[in-house]
Amino acid sequence: MRIRFLFRVVLFFLAFAGMKETVRAQEKIERVWYNQEKTAKIQIYRARDSKFYGKIVWLKEPEKNGKAKVDEHNPDAKKREQPLMGLLVLKGFVKDDEDEYEDGTIYDPKNGKTYSCKIKQKGNQLDVRGYVGISLIGRTAIWTAAD
């Protein structure tokens, strides 16, 4: 009887420990954000690889000439017909500090270029800095929480 009880207690704690590892707290950055111009909303989420990504989930003007806007400036001709809605624009960010994320990239569908990027969260806004080479050579856009 005691052995069964101890066995059940051990199984309970093992199961609880396993669940604890798989349940992750949601980061403050994981939400929907307006880009600086407020022409798009980007949803930032953590993927299974524990990195953060962002995709376009809303466009102020989703159509061009009566059709869904596409990634017309993509350097890969095969991807130029891909819709902007759902397009990944932020890729591979790793949390560096309490409110800083780095080692990612940002894709600008306006010119088809991808830049190194780092993000710093300040309450309900993000400083999104895209750059080439070193972060001193770049531009910061301020995104605001959409929800």
pLDDT tens digits, one per residue of 16-74? 444 444 446 789 999 999 999 999 999 999 999 999 999 999 999 999 999 999 999 99
pLDDT tens digits, one per residue of 107-116? 999 999 999 9
| Cα gap 2→130, rounded to integer Å | 62
pTM here? 0.81
pLDDT tens digits, one per residue of 94-103? 999 889 999 9
> Do the beta carbons of residue 30 and residue 46 sit within 8 Å?
yes
- Burial label for 15, CB within 10 Å (0-12, 13-18, 19+), is exposed
In the chain, where the domains are located: 26-145
- 26-145 carries CATH number 2.40.128.520: yes
pLDDT tens digits, one per residue of 116-145? 999 999 999 999 999 999 888 899 999 999
Measured CA to CA in angstroms, residue 146 lies from 87, 120, 126 at distances of 18, 17, 12
